[in-house]
């Protein structure tokens, strides 16, 4: 959390197999309309990335 309204998070992934290499990176900036006093596990799940 940057402030009660702003959250900043990042995610990176690198997948290696014999047939290919794959990588990704993401940066999230989120503004909450209602102020929050803490970061919750549900906030982290929204930013989770899965690559098939």
Task: Note the pLDDT of residue 52.
Answer: 47
Task: Note the pLDDT of residue 46.
Answer: 54
Q: What percent of the chain has pLDDT over 90?
A: 12
Task: Note the pLDDT of residue 28.
Answer: 85
* Distance, CA of 10 to CA of 29 (rounded, Å): 9
What's the mean pLDDT in 8-34? 88
Task: Note the pLDDT of residue 2.
Answer: 85
* Distance, CA of 32 to CA of 36 (rounded, Å): 8
Number of domains forming the structure of the chain: 1
State the residue range of the domain holding 46: 1-16+24-52
Q: What percent of the chain has pLDDT over 70?
A: 81
């Amino acid at each position: 959390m940057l402030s009660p309204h702003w959250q900043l998070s990042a995610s990176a992934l690198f997948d290696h197999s014999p047939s290919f290499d794959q990588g990704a990176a993401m940066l999230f900036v989120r503004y909450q309309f209602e102020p929050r006093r803490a970061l919750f596990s549900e906030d982290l799940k929204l930013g989770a990335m899965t690559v098939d």
